[in-house]
Amino acid sequence: MLFSEQLKKEAKPIIDQIYHDPFIQGMLHGNLPVEAIKFYLRADASYLNEFANIYALLIPKMENLNDVRFLVEQIQFIVDGEVEAHEILADYVQESYNEIVQEKIWPPSGDHYIKHMYFNAYAKENAAYTIAAMAPCPYVYQIIAQQALRDSKLNKDSILSKWFEFYSTEMDELVHVFDNLMNKLTEYCNEKEKTDIKQCFLQSTVHERNFFNMSFNEESWSYGGMKNEQT
C-alpha cells in the first residue's frame, strides 16, 4: 500500500466524524445557521491567506520545476478560484462576501491549525512534513463533498448543495499531486520519520474537524478576544 493510501485509511474515522458533525450536516440539510457561515467565511479568509504563504515556503523545497509551477498555480487558485465556493455561502447568507470578511477574526482552533502548518514548514527540511500538514485540507473537502452528493439527505433545493458540487471535483488535481509528492518524498524515510509524518497528517485532519466545529460554535478566546487578529 502506498504511503498516501495508508494516511487516508487512518484518517477515515476522523473524516466520518467531520461529516456527521453539526456544520456539515447543516450544510447537507440546507439549514446551517447564518452566523455559523459568516464565522466560517471570516476565519477561512485568514486561514487561506496563510495557506498561500505556506505554499510559498514549500516552493524552495521542490526539486522538480513542474512541481514548482503547480504550487504557483495553487497560490493563484487560492487568490481567485476558491472565492467561487465562498460566494456560494455568501449567497446563502444574502450578503456580499467582501463585506462579510471585512470583519477579521482569529479563533483559537484556527490559530492552532495555522501554526501547526508553519511549524512543519520551518522546522522540517523534508517537504513531506509540510505537505502532510497541508494535504488533509483539500482531501477532507473532496471526500466530504463526494459523500454529500451521494447522500439521499442532501437538500438539492438549497444553494448550499452547490458548495458540495464545487469541492467534489475542484480538489482532485491537488489531492493527486500531494499524494504523488508524499509518496516520492517519503520513499527513503525511516519508520520513525514516516510515523512522525503520519501523525502530522492526522493532526491536520483533526484540525479540519476543529475548524468546522469552531465555526458552528462561534469559538472565542477565553479572555474575550474573538475578533483579535493575528499578532
- For the chain, the residue count is 231
Tally Cβ neighbours within 10 Å of residue 3: 21
3-class DSSP state for residue 230?
coil
Placement of cell 456527521 in the chain:
20
Task: Supply the residues annotated as catalytic.
Answer: 137, 208
The rounded distance, in Å, linking the Cα atoms of 5 and 11 is 10
Compute CA 20 distance to the chain's CA centroid, rounded to the nearest angstrom.
Answer: 17
Q: What is the dihedral of CA 80, 77, 231, 216, to 10 degrees?
A: 80
Compute CA 215 distance to the chain's CA centroid, rounded to the nearest angstrom.
Answer: 13
**Of 155, 176, 40, 60, which is closest to residue 109 (Cα–Cα)?**
40
Placement of cell 500538514 in the chain:
133
Helix axes 191-217, 3-20, angle to 10 degrees: 20
